[in-house]
Structure 1
Amino acid sequence: MRLRHIALATTLLGLLCLPAHADTRDIGRDTLPLNDGWASAGSGTTGGSGADSAHVFTVTDRAGLVRALDNGSDTPKIIRIAGTIDANTTDDGEHLDCDDYATDGYSLRKYLAAYDPRTWGSAKLSGEQEAARQASARKQAERVELLVGSNTTIVGLKGAVLKGASLQVRNAGNVIVRNLDSRDAYDCFPVWQPNTGGLGDWKTAYDNIWLTGATHVWVDHVTLSDKGHPDSEEPTLFARNYLRHDGLLDITNGSDLVTVSWSRFADHDKAMLIGSGDSATGDRGKLRVTLHHNEFESVVQRAPRVRFGQVHVYNNRYLVEGDDYRYSLGVSTESGIYAENNAFHTPGHIEVADLVKSWNGSALHQSGTLFNGYPVDLLAIHNAYNSGSERDLTADVGWTPTLHTKIDSAAAADRQVARGAGAGRMP
């Protein structure tokens, strides 16, 4: 008996002495579960889970990340990001700011003087300063645009941050991005567009993550924000906010079969655009996206805005803040948003009718919505209180979701998302 006790004690001591990481699963080998949204259709989404040992990388700086991405190659690969990686750095790791990218005589002061609407008017921009801005923008793009190829998994290790980068999945497929804090995809050289919105506006270049022509993509437990340089602190130029950020996660140009889950979108203007434009009829039959268990906090608009796509929006949590809020669900040309059991929290000046906005859209399915804890019918209220500039919407979006995880009540999902969404909160 004593020998048995000694053996048991020795076994327990051995377990206690194992390295802390010994029983930690390798999330880089995870694949999208069955039926977890549109990205599980067909062959599903496996990312780089099949990578051989020579194509598993742990990277700590921009140079290492660029090498691991291998110019967007299709070779199966797993890339683990450790620590903080700043895309605005040289190959030697020295930080670059906007002045380092400026070239050919560009300066914001000269640019504003050249294209002041009071003297330039509404003509298309041309001339020395616009050419210099474009050249400067190309220099920054060479640093911050990071191409992600097919069969790739990118995961953040504990506390991983990617600053200033635009991860771009262009015409590639089978990609997974998980457990990563991606922040401040900051554009040093926004362009003035004289005709936008009638009075002109500033347009920026970079999304934190951009899917363009991408298929079978799973984005999970990421945090996307402008942290570090919020647009709310930028000046007003030509009577418009001088925006430095575009989307947090945009899904455009025929992208298809995408699942976005358990992620946080925070402190941003235009969070998520699904679809390129009203005339992009090649998007018909594509842009099939599932959004579930995500948190949208202090997002002004596009959570999401949809054209053409069949988009399932369920069990998400919306925390609306600020006086500049515009809407959450954007119903645009030929879109089919199927919204189920979402929870909205708003200040007193925001009404239910403010949550939905439509441009040329005709349909919205909604059920199980909570507004500050009370059940509401978004569709009925939108139709009753729309401004007259928007058409009434019907409930028939032409499809019914079949690929999804368990759909909880909005109240239950609200609590789960508050605890579990975002980087660093994987179960």
Structure 2
Amino acid sequence: MKNTVLAASLVLAFASGAQAAIDASTFVGASTPLQTALYGVRNYSAPVLVKGLHDPANYMAAPRLPAWQFAQADPSGGVLTFERQSAPATGWHTWSRKGKVVLSGGGAARPDRIYTVFNGQQLVAAIRQAGNEPKIIRVVGHIDLRWSENNTVFREYTSYSDQKYGGSVNLPSNTTLVGINDAQGRPARMTGTSLLIGGELALAQGGDAEADFKKWIKDGKDGDDYPTWTRNVIVRNLVIDTPWDVNPEDEDNAYADGITVSRGQNIFLDHLSVSDGDTPESIATGSWKTRHDGALDVVRGSDYVTVANSSFSNHHKTTLVGNGDGGRAWSDEGRLHVTFSGNWWSAVAARLPLNRYGQVHMFNNLVSGNVVTKEAGLKFESGTDARYRSNMLIENNYYNVTGLKLSEFCGKAIKGKGFIGFRSSGHVFTSDRAGTNAVDGQCGMAPPDAANLWTPPYLYALQTATSALTAVQAQAGAGKLR
């Protein structure tokens, strides 16, 4: 099965090679709106109920703060190395409905659109100055929007509203955002700050995003020409601490993600290290224990996204591909093409990913966990979860889950219901209870019918799961970009 899939993908890739690839920057038109103005400016508002949610009585500042690694100088002297590189040619990010794509990010940036930033205000200013022009933003040190005045004044978020807007950075189209290791060799880091790529917008202020999009389609227009997409974005080599939600929705649901891709297309996320950092769920007190939302979510019709060579650790609700069932068909049906390759999930609880609607390809990843730990939020609950109308191809992943029997593997590490297609093969599962076992096949789930079979349209080199174990441990995460 795996050789057949790889051979087919090679054939398609070489066949498509005859077609000139389209630079993803050409998908960004003058009508593409900027969504940056709402974000990065603190309002210091008092906590209030918002549609019956975010009870002010449950406001709680982050109990711990990190050891800051602020920087004042760029150890590279501004010399560019990988910053102008286009994304590699493996993954769904290399495709579109118009054909093969080169995802260039900000690679074509003019010299005056190359920025090196040391604090949150500089980051926000660079984004606003360049807008949708190609831009490269190099982060050195530690970014946290709770700090101001050149990282000399700290003030915690004061409310849900203050954190939602003042604690988020929204990347526009044609952006390359990269971390530069500091003088001590530490990768750049973002704490207390949500990284947003795109957002679901109406055509005009005060409009309705869903109604506008549905009318656009009803009028016979191409959904990919709808002018509110954020496209052509590269993010690499960053440590991202998922924000502590000071005033979550309720006792079970927080708001702020580490990274959210929303109505984004042609996005490449690479060599990231995402975790709860210094504020794990276990330190929450009071009745509301949930203080983090997703580590990385790809939602609201986003498409052609690749997540590669990244690590996700110490987190509960890790990744959504699609954030709703039938109510999201208008935006998500036929979209959410996402690749996960070379990633390492360690000490995370669930959603690796949880997938609705997405046509997701996962290969050569590593999952390590523990089903018997008592540490809150880190007990392995579930891995890949194929849900409503999803279609997944999962190949040659390596799993090591302490306390899990081989007989429990299917339904725990790989499970699903309501999907339209699911293929899984070539994995290795290890455990202190089960020894080492090859796991092949569907985990008891029926294969897709012919109408839902698909082959990735890009070239990819499929390693064995055992080889992937070594490669992922050596390469995944920030600071390892070569």
TM range (shorter): 0.7 to 0.9
State which of 416, 419, 422 in structure 2 corresponds to 1:364: 422
* Partner of residue 292, structure 1: 341
Q: CA deviation at 1:70?
A: 1.0
TM-score (norm 1): 0.78
* Partner of residue 304, structure 1: 353
* Partner of residue 37, structure 1: 91
State which of 237, 242, 248 in structure 2 corresponds to 1:190: 248
Asked if structure 2 preserves the Cα contact closer than 8 Å seen for 1:263 and 1:293, the reply is: yes
Q: CA deviation at 1:419?
A: 0.8
TM-score (norm 2): 0.69
Q: Distance in 1 between matches of 2:260 and 2:236?
A: 15
Identity of aligned residues (%): 31
Q: Distance in 2 between matches of 1:47 and 1:405?
A: 21
* Partner of residue 281, structure 1: 329
Once the two structures are superposed, residues 5-41 of structure 1 have per-residue CA deviations (whole angstroms, 9 ceiling, x without a partner) of xxxxxxxxxxxxxxx959976211011122x111011
Question: Which structure is larger by alpha-carbon Rg, 1 or 2?
Answer: 1
Q: CA deviation at 1:211?
A: 0.4
1:379 and 2:432 aligned: no
* Partner of residue 234, structure 1: 284
Q: CA deviation at 1:86?
A: 1.4
Aligned residues: 351
SS class of match (1:180): strand
Q: Distance in 1 between matches of 2:124 and 2:320?
A: 27
Asked if structure 2 preserves the Cα contact closer than 8 Å seen for 1:356 and 1:378, the reply is: no
Note the 1:16-415 alignment, pairs <5 A.
26-34=81-89, 36-41=90-95, 42-70=100-128, 73-91=131-149, 93=151, 94-98=153-157, 101=158, 136-158=159-181, 159-170=187-198, 171-192=229-250, 201-235=251-285, 237=287, 242-279=289-326, 280-282=328-330, 283-323=332-372, 324-349=379-404, 351-353=408-410, 354-372=412-430, 373-377=436-440, 379-380=442-443, 383=444, 392-396=445-449, 397-415=452-470
**Over the residues paired in the alignment, what is the CA RMSD in angstroms?**
2.1
Asked if structure 1 preserves the Cα contact closer than 8 Å seen for 2:425 and 2:442, the reply is: no
* Partner of residue 387, structure 1: none
Q: CA deviation at 1:88?
A: 1.7
> Which AA in structure 1 matches 2:156?
D
The answer to which structure, 1 or 2, has the higher relative contact order (CA under 8 A, 6+ apart) is 2
Gaps of 5+ in 1: 1-19, 102-135, 193-200, 384-391
> Which AA in structure 2 matches 1:173?
R
Once the two structures are superposed, residues 182-222 of structure 1 have per-residue CA deviations (whole angstroms, 9 ceiling, x without a partner) of 11312100122xxxxxxxx4211111110000000000001
Asked if structure 2 preserves the Cα contact closer than 8 Å seen for 1:79 and 1:153, the reply is: yes
Runs of 4+ off more than 6 Å = none
Once the two structures are superposed, residues 16-68 of structure 1 have per-residue CA deviations (whole angstroms, 9 ceiling, x without a partner) of xxxx959976211011122x111011322110000000010000011111111
Q: Distance in 2 between matches of 1:30 and 1:184?
A: 27
SS class of match (1:291): strand
Asked if structure 2 preserves the Cα contact closer than 8 Å seen for 1:379 and 1:395, the reply is: no
Larger relative helix fraction: 1
Q: Distance in 2 between matches of 1:23 and 1:177?
A: 18
Q: CA deviation at 1:420?
A: 0.7
* Partner of residue 109, structure 1: none
> Which AA in structure 1 matches 2:384?
L
> Which AA in structure 2 matches 1:265?
F
